[in-house]
Amino acid sequence: MTARSKTITLFSALRQANLNSALISMVVAGLLLSTLMFFSLRAQVTTNLNLVARTIAYSVEAALMFHDRASTQEILEQIVEREGLEMAQVKDSASNLIADFEVKHQSRNLNQLLDHLVFPSPTVVIVKSNQHVLGYVSIRGNGEIFSIFFQKTLMVIALSLLVIGATSFFLARKTERSITRQLDNLAKNTLLFKASSPQERKAFEIAEFQQIDEQFRELLAELDAKTMELTIQQMNLKEVNASLTYLANHDELTNLGNRSYFNRCLELAIMHANQQESRLAVLYLDSDRFKRINDEYGHSVGDIFLVKSAQCLQHAVRRSDLVARLGGDEFAILLQSLDSPTTAIRVAEKILASPDIHIVHNGRELCFQLKLSIGIALYPDLGKDKDSKALILAADQAMYISKQNGGCCYTLADFAPRKPKRLTP
Q: CA end-to-end span of the chain, whole Å? A: 81
Is the separation of the CB atoms in 72 and 92 below 8 Å?
Answer: no
Hey, what amino acid is at 125?
Answer: V
The three-point CA angle 18-23-29 to 5° equals: 125
The torsion of the CA quartet 17, 18, 22, 23, rounded to 10 degrees, works out to -40
d(Cα 97, Cα 87) in Å, to the nearest integer? 13
d(Cα 369, Cα 361) in Å, to the nearest integer? 16
Is the separation of the CB atoms in 38 and 150 below 8 Å?
Answer: yes
Residues 6+ apart with CB under 8 A from 189: 201, 202, 213, 216, 217
- Residue 380: asked if its preceding bond is cis (omega within 30°), the reply is yes
Spot the catalytic one: 115, 286, 321, 329: 329
Is the separation of the CB atoms in 276 and 341 below 8 Å?
Answer: no
Phi (first) and psi of residue 266, to 5 degrees: -65, -40
Please report, for residues 124, 221, 374, the alpha-carbon distance to residue 216 in angstroms, rounded to integers and kept in the order given.
75, 9, 71
Closest CA to 318 of 278, 280, 270: 280
Residues 6+ apart with CB under 8 A from 377: 281, 282, 284, 391, 392, 394, 395, 398, 413
Is the separation of the CB atoms in 407 and 292 below 8 Å?
Answer: no
Query: What is the edge-to-edge ordering of all strands in the sheet holding 97-102?
Result: 97-102, 85-92, 132-141, 123-129
Is the separation of the CB atoms in 250 and 256 below 8 Å?
Answer: yes
Exposed (0-12), middle (13-18) or buried (19+): which is 154, by Cβ within 10 Å? middle
d(Cα 122, Cα 117) in Å, to the nearest integer? 12
Is 329 among the catalytic positions?
A: yes
Exposed (0-12), middle (13-18) or buried (19+): which is 103, by Cβ within 10 Å? middle
- Residues annotated as catalytic (active site), given as ranges: 329
